Structures are given as C-alpha cells and as structure tokens.
Amino acid sequence: MNDAPPTTPIRLLVWALRPHWRRVAAVSLLSAAQVAGTLLLPLLIGRAIQQITLGLTSDLDVTAVLIAALGIVLAGFYAAQEVLAGKLSLRVERELRDRLYAHLHAIEPRVAHQQPTGQLVTLVTADLIPISSFLGLQLSRLVWAVLVLILAAAVMIVIQPLLAVLALVPAPLAVLAILRFRRVAGPMVGRQRQRMAEVTGLIQATIMGVAAIRGDAREQYELGRFRAANQEVLGEALATNRTVALYMPSLVILPNLGSAIVVVVGGLLAIQGGLSVVDFSVFYTYLVMLVPAIQILGRVLGQAQLAITCAERVAAGLAEPVQTSVRETPLAPGPAGVELEGVHVASPDGDTVIEDVDLHVPPGGTIAVVGKTGSGKTVMLRLVNRLTEAHEGSVRIGGEPVEHIDLAGLRGAVASAGSDEFVFAGTIAENISFGRPEASMDEIELAAARAQAHDFISELPDGYETMLGDRGAGLSGGQRQRVALARALLSHPSVLLLDNVTGALDSLTEAAAVEELHRPDAEDLPTRIMVGYRPVLLSRADQVVVLEGGKVIARGTHAELLETSQEYRELVGAE
C-alpha cells in the first residue's frame, strides 16, 4: 500500500484488498468449497429418499454416514473461512489506520487547521470498522451467497426448467428492492456518520476543557448540547432503521412467493407424473437454499452501503494534499540565519494575517517580537518551521528557502516552545526527551536545569519519573512552560522559537532562564526568535520587532524603541 490511494470509494476498497490477494483467493476458494458441499447435500437427501422408498436399508446407512461426513467437512470449511476472513479484516483495518494516521500528520497545515478534531478521530477509528468488516467476513458471505444463487438456480433448471423459471420469477424483484434500498439508504448512512463524528468532537472538546466548564458552572449547558447532538445521531439511526424495516422484508416475502408457486405447480406435476417425488424433493431443497442466500445477499449489500459511505469519507481524507519539500535539501548543522522577505499570509477566509514582513536574523542572533493580540506574532514564528505556509514572499533558513529543505530535517532543526505548549501523558523525562528519545538521563537533567525546571522536578516524589496526565495535568502553567522549554533545548536546535514561553514564570525564574539562553560561554547557541514583553527578555535581544495588524511598524533595540516608539512603550508597560 505504498502507492497513492484512489479517490473513489469502490477503487479504494479494491486498493485496500490488493496487497492481500492471496488471502482473498483462499477465502474465495473456501467459500466455493462450502457452496459445492452445500449443493451436494440435496442430492444426498434425494438419494436417501429414494433408498427409503425402495427399502434399501444398507445403502441408507452409507448415505447417512456421507451426509454426516459432509456436515463435518462443511463445518471445517466454515471455521477456516471465518478465521482467514477475520484476519483479512483486521489486517486491512490496521493498514488503513496506519496510512490514514500518517497522512493526517502530513497534510498541509492550512487544510489541517480547517478539519474538526472529531471528524479526524472518527475517520481513523469508527469509519474503518465497516470497511474492514465488509472486506473480510461480509465479502466472504457475499461470495457464498452469489455462488449459491447461481449454481442452485442452474441445478434447478436442469431438474425442471419450467418450474425453475416460475420459482425464480420473484428474484429480479428482490434485486430491484436491494438496489432501491442502496439508493435511499446511502445519504442517510452518510448523515448518520457525520452526526457521529460531531458527537465525537464534542466529547473530546468537553473532556479537554473540563476545568473551564466546571470553573464557569457550565456543566448543564454542555450536557444539553451533548444530549441535542446525541439525539440527532439517534434520529438519523432511527430513520435508517425505518428504511431497513421497509425494504428488507421483501427479501423474505419474495423468495417465499417462489416457494408457494413451486409447491402448487411442482405438486401438480408430481401428482400427474411429470416430476418424480425424489426430483421434486431435491428441487424444493435447492429452492429453500435460495431463501437464506437472498437474505444474506440483502444484508451484505446493506453493509456494503455503509462500507462505501465510510470509504468515501476515508478517500476524501486520503485525498487531502500533503506538505512536501521541493528539493529535500539537508540543513547544515549549527546555528542558521533566518530571513523573511515580503512575506504575506492570509487566513482561510482571505483576511490578511501577515503583510509584507521582512525579518533578518543572523546565525546565533536573537530577535524579540512584540505586538497586540492578533497582530500575527505566532503566525510569523510558525512560518519558520512551515507549520504555516507563506502565500507570498520567501522564508529562508541558512540561505535556503524552507520549501527546499527536507521537511523532517527542518522540523528537527527548528525547535519551538510556547506559553501553552502541549505536554503529553507520560513521565516528565519522556516529555522532555520527546524530540530526542535516545537522550541520556544526564542530558535530560542538563536541559531541565537550563530551563529552570530541575529543582521543582527533583522535589516531586518520583522526580523525572513522575507521571503526568493529558496536557500535563499535575503541573502548574509555569512548570509546563519550563518542561516545554527543556524539551526544546534538549534537541540542540539550529533555530529556537519561543512564543511567550516564560510568560507564566516569576521575574527571578524568567531572568535565570533568559540568561541560560544567552550564556556567553555556550558553544553554538541557536538562532533565537522570541515573543515576550518583559524587559529581561527584550533587553537581551539584538533587535526588537513591533507588529501591528500583521505589519512591522517599528524595529530597533529595546533602548531605542523606548525612546522612539509610543506603541512599544504601551506594549511593554513603560508608560
């Protein structure tokens, strides 16, 4: 599954099965063997009836043994088919989930930011189950049902052509009912999956924001939202069930109509001598086989509709454009200069976020960025590691356009830490070494010490092995910031992006952390671009850039801007 996935649902299903053609062939052969044994059974029953009629007791014993042996063989075929089909289903599901998960991490940032989290979670979880189920167990049952219908009908035609035609008259009506069901149920199933994705997103959002919900006493409000969304899921599910209840009984009624015709016409033929009782019994047994085959076919095609609906969603997810590099140029080790020239960034709605921004940071240099909320500070930092793409202008690192640099190498060379940096569930040591899992404990502790985190970590009962909950539950805001800063420092980056990462620290701790970022005895200090407002950080920068409305309105040293820029003095509270 290394090639590009198709964008249509049917082709996607075939593409997912292609690497497993041997298993598909084995499951199909087992289904065919089951059908062959199943079709042999009526012949043995007809033979037994004839032996009973003729009083051939010894031959009847042999026939009974053959019927029992055939039942055992069919049970073995069925068990083997279920095992192989189950393995096929689970493997397809795993491979699709791996492919989707990797793809979602690679899609272009502008696309990723527009996708609701619940949609993405549903895509890699619930939407894959109907697909894998259909491609495994349901597909094997489909093969069985189709073969039974074709071969049993063929045998019936050989036994009594006229009777077979009369018996099979309702079959096209059943097929039409199935096709009609698919056409009506398809949109309904799609809406049901969409509502389920919305509920998943709501659950995730409320669990992540539970502290804010409790703090504002909004539990009942959120419960009401959830109940309303859950009711919509129920409404769509009930509508689908009503459709199933309307169409599926036809798959029971129509074959039984065929049975009624056979009983009347076939009975008359048998009475008049045009058809032997044995042949009538064998014929009717084959007809009885058609009923479950048609019912299974209907159920499987219903599952197929759900699988196709989910495959449409998966195909759409896999069709989202991925972020790539033009040349895969490696980035040289050591501090790298950063240049932004005429950069323009617009929001998905077309609003300007960054406009005509120029920025030049020499290797190992430091620039601080300040501005009001919404002025574009974070977006400007995210341009450096391509978490945001420039619509116009150029962004260079080490003299190379960022889109020419190997993407994994770029992200490894540009470390970032923010005021609300994500902290994963796991130990503190695992969080600090997230970008360098091979780092030694001494390196982890050194990075924590530089980030002013070592002391508070050492005071915890389990130290660096202290387990943290989701999003760093168990740590204060300032502690999470220091863990995030330690993570960034441990990676020994060429460029370090700090987005108000010391904002929750007290003045003394912040001063110590900033001092570590500018140690004169340190070798290969990274190029630093920092957002912050306190003098201890701003005064150490080679240059300070002031943003307003996505534009650079002033630049200079901290001291120069205090003299020349009213906006700067207001931002840093120097008035």
Specify the residue for token string 């020499």: 362
Q: Are residues 135 and 259 in the same domain?
A: yes
Kindly report, residue by residue over 351-409, the tens digit of the pLDDT.
Answer: 888 889 999 999 989 999 998 888 888 889 999 988 888 889 999 998 889 888 888 88
Percent of the chain surpassing pLDDT 70: 90
Encoded tokens for 418: 């923010």
Q: 455 lies in a domain? A: no
Cα distance between residue 437 and residue 435, in whole Å: 6
Using CB atoms within 10 Å of the CB of residue 502, give its burial: 0 to 12 exposed, 13 to 18 middle, 19+ buried: buried
Cα distance between residue 339 and residue 359, in whole Å: 5
What was the pLDDT predicted at 340?
92
Which of 318, 350, 383 is the C-terminal boundary of a domain?
318
Whole domain around residue 366: which residue ranges? Answer: 338-421+493-572
Q: Quick one: which H or E segment has residue 413?
A: helix 407-413
Contacts of 563 (CB under 8 A, 6+ apart): none
Between 399 and 170, the higher pLDDT residue: 399
Residue 524: helix, strand or coil by DSSP?
A: coil
Cα distance between residue 383 and residue 418, in whole Å: 15
Question: What mean pLDDT value characterizes the chain?
Answer: 82
What was the pLDDT predicted at 521?
54
Among the listed residues 420, 429, 471, the one whose alpha carbon sits nearest the alpha carbon of residue 448? 429
Using CB atoms within 10 Å of the CB of residue 105, give its burial: 0 to 12 exposed, 13 to 18 middle, 19+ buried: exposed
| Residue 279 CA from chain centroid, whole number | 56
Q: Are residues 260 and 375 in the same domain?
A: no
Q: Are residues 523 and 377 in the same domain?
A: yes
- On the question of pLDDT at 105 being above 90, the answer is no
Q: Are residues 138 and 273 in the same domain?
A: yes
Contacts of 278 (CB under 8 A, 6+ apart): 46, 49, 50, 53
CATH number at residue 408: 3.40.50.300
Kindly report, residue by residue over 420-441, the tens digit of the pLDDT.
Answer: 777 777 888 988 888 888 989 9
Q: 214 lies in a domain? A: yes
Q: 36 lies in a domain? A: yes
Work out the average pLDDT over 148-163.
Answer: 85
Kindly report, residue by residue over 329-353, the tens digit of the pLDDT.
Answer: 777 788 889 999 999 988 877 788 8
Q: 185 lies in a domain? A: yes
Cα distance between residue 151 and residue 157, in whole Å: 10
- On the question of pLDDT at 203 being above 60, the answer is yes
Q: Are residues 211 and 348 in the same domain?
A: no
Q: 256 lies in a domain? A: yes
Kindly report, residue by residue over 514-559, the tens digit of the pLDDT.
Answer: 887 777 655 668 899 999 888 888 888 899 999 988 898 989 998 8
Pairing of strands 543-548, 366-371: parallel
Domain count, the chain: 2
User: Are 485 and 446 in contact, with CB atoms under 8 Å apart?
Assistant: no
Work out the average pLDDT over 458-476.
Answer: 80
What was the pLDDT predicted at 151?
87
What was the pLDDT predicted at 544?
92
- On the question of pLDDT at 32 being above 90, the answer is no
Specify the residue for token string 């008049």: 272
Q: Are residues 241 and 366 in the same domain?
A: no
Q: Are residues 132 and 256 in the same domain?
A: yes
Q: 44 lies in a domain? A: yes
Q: 456 lies in a domain? A: no
| Range with the largest mean pLDDT of 53-57, 284-288, 481-485 | 481-485
Residue 260: helix, strand or coil by DSSP?
A: helix
Q: Are residues 357 and 301 in the same domain?
A: no
Work out the average pLDDT over 464-475.
Answer: 76
Q: Are residues 183 and 261 in the same domain?
A: yes
The model's pTM is 0.74
CATH number at residue 183: 1.20.1560.10
Q: Are residues 124 and 259 in the same domain?
A: yes
Work out the average pLDDT over 234-256.
Answer: 74
Which of 318, 346, 376 is the C-terminal boundary of a domain?
318
Q: Are residues 187 and 303 in the same domain?
A: yes
Q: 333 lies in a domain? A: no
Q: Are residues 354 and 314 in the same domain?
A: no
